[in-house]
């Protein structure tokens, strides 16, 4: 059930239909259960992830919330 809720939140964030999409547009966020939290930088990000792992017993999903006025191109390079 929690996994389905996370997938729905991720889908809404990526499509720009989630209420938090505009707030976090152009930034990375952590998604766990029904929470969307901003991903801080450096050691603070690692501390946040560890706290969430301890609180929920699993790792949060890290995702980038795209801005709706920009097109993104994903390039994957293999060695």
Instruction: Give one DSSP letter per residue of 27-71, joined into a string.
Output: EEEEEETTEEEE--STHHHHHHHHHHHHHHSSPPEEEEE--TTS-
Task: Quote the pLDDT of residue 78.
Answer: 84
Whether the full predicted model's pTM is greater than 0.85, yes or no, is no
Return the biggest CA–CA distance within the chain. 39
Question: Is residue 15 in some structural domain?
Answer: yes
Question: Is residue 70 in some structural domain?
Answer: no
Question: Is residue 79 in some structural domain?
Answer: no
Question: Is residue 78 in some structural domain?
Answer: no
Two tokens, residue 11: 């889908």
The answer to whether residues 14 and 6 touch, using CB atoms and an 8 Å cutoff, is no
pLDDT in tens, 28-65: 999 998 889 999 999 999 999 999 999 999 999 999 99
Question: Is residue 71 in some structural domain?
Answer: no
Domain span at 10: 2-65
């Amino acid at each position: 059930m929690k996994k389905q809720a996370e997938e729905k939140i991720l889908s809404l964030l990526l499509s720009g239909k989630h209420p938090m999409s505009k707030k976090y547009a152009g930034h990375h966020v952590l998604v766990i259960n029904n929470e969307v939290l901003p991903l801080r930088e450096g050691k603070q990000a690692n501390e946040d992830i560890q706290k969430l792992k301890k609180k929920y017993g699993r790792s949060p999903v890290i995702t980038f919330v795209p801005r709706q006025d920009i097109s993104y191109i994903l390039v994957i390079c293999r060695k």
